[in-house]
Chain A
């Protein structure tokens, strides 16, 4: 059973196919309006989410399907101590595809191991968030017309920022890309991303704490939030939360065709004034996320034999 747990579960060929389907959905939405008629998405969100949950649910509704939701561990059998494995087996009896967000890393993998229907990882703690990466890829594709030969700056919490890990994994498979990793010392990219992905594949990258000094080099600037929920220690969070704030002033040295991405939610790491800059793409990214989730749901349901 094909599931999406990590962005690396998809080949670049499959990613290209998802982008092509998403583009077709954008151009011809009516063609897909009944594609999932009679099918149900289980939307299991054991951790707070606005965008991702609504995006999955909107995606399924726009494909003509239905949605059954669980929001928050407190309102489900997880509160009674039910294991993730048992939840997966149970939910498989009611629905056709699962989207799961869970605070524990690896929870989506355990779900996929135990479910009899396709599973989509909608975020497992600080580990992976592959469908955000799908949104990022479509946005880069639509803004730049390519996924190759780009200098990609990722800025903020690169340690716990799962979207960053997935983006690096995905973009390092396309030719000619280079990464600029901008973070405070305490929130650097984990060694498994650096060693197993960047160094192993010989992908050029630099690490810096200074956003302004690298700004002129960037084709993409991927800003992230310092996430309060990933810290065990509130003091550390307070010390690091305002490390980088992108303002219109800081963008003066940036390329005119820079694309600014952010997985959202934003707290204060991008000044609201930047929203009016034509280089700001983060709200387009939200919409692109829905189209890619539609394309993904279609692909997984087709491969599971649920639709043609």
Chain B
């Protein structure tokens, strides 16, 4: 399967197979006007299978979202067809306005203007909890 290489843009590589669509949605890539490719289940020596996202524009990407969904992913910045930068991904300590708390008893469920914020409580198991009610993020 051939996907054109990009001249100026971003490649999110080494995404755990199956996480590509989740990243696409949380990064709101569907709202972009440029070409975006999600390549699923690509054969990988290191990972067995992986997903890749190619974005044909040099747009700011919310690294916190990637760090939350898949801290093992890598970001490659492409300019004039050349890889100019690799960005490291880390799990963010706080995740602001990315996901919503699903606890119907949480204050965020009834007060719309409150920003949904999650904090990293267990790095080893990648556990984020709502700062208001401590419910675990799914």
Name A residues whose Cβ lies closer than 8 Å to a Cβ of B. 83-85, 102-107, 109-110, 124-127, 191-192, 195-196, 200
Contact = CB atoms under 8 A, between A and B. Distances in A.
B45 interface: no
B111 A110 contact: yes
Contact of A104 (B109, B113, B135, B136): B109
Contacts of A127: 105, 133-134
Interface in B7-44: none
Contacts of A85: 111, 113-114
Nearest to A232: B104
B107 to A, nearest CB: 4
Given A103-B105, A104-B105, A109-B131, 20 more contacts: A83-B113, A84-B107, A84-B111, A85-B114, A104-B107, A104-B109, A105-B103, A105-B107, A105-B134, A106-B130, A106-B132, A110-B107, A125-B105, A126-B105, A192-B121, A192-B129, A192-B136, A195-B122, A195-B127, A196-B121
B133 A125 contact: yes
11 contacts: A83-B113, A104-B105, A104-B106, A106-B131, A106-B132, A109-B107, A109-B131, A125-B133, A191-B136, A195-B125, A196-B127
A161 to B, nearest CB: 14
B84 interface: no
Interface of B: 103, 105-111, 113-114, 121-122, 125, 127, 129-136
B106 A106 contact: yes
Contact of B108 (A106, A192, A200): A106
A192 B125 CA distance: 12
Nearest to B133: A105
A48 B134 CA distance: 23
- In this complex, the member of B109, B110, B111 whose beta carbon has the largest number of chain A beta carbons within 10 angstroms is B111
A126 B135 CA distance: 12
A110 B103 CA distance: 16
A107 B107 CA distance: 6
B110 A104 contact: yes
Contacts of A102: 107
B122 A110 contact: no
Nearest to A102: B107
A124 B131 CA distance: 13
A256 B77 CA distance: 71
B133 A106 contact: yes
B122 A109 contact: no
A103 B133 CA distance: 12
Contacts of A191: 136
A162 to B, nearest CB: 11
A106 B130 CA distance: 9
Contacts of B106: 104-106
A197 to B, nearest CB: 10
A274 B121 CA distance: 41
A136 B138 CA distance: 34
B114 A105 contact: no
A78 to B, nearest CB: 10
Nearest to B124: A200
A81 to B, nearest CB: 10
A101 B122 CA distance: 29
A196 B107 contact: no
A125 B110 CA distance: 13
Contacts of B121: 192, 196
B42 to A, nearest CB: 34
A126 B134 CA distance: 11
B112 to A, nearest CB: 9
A104 to B, nearest CB: 4
Given A104-B105, A104-B109, A110 B133 contact: no
B132 A109 contact: yes
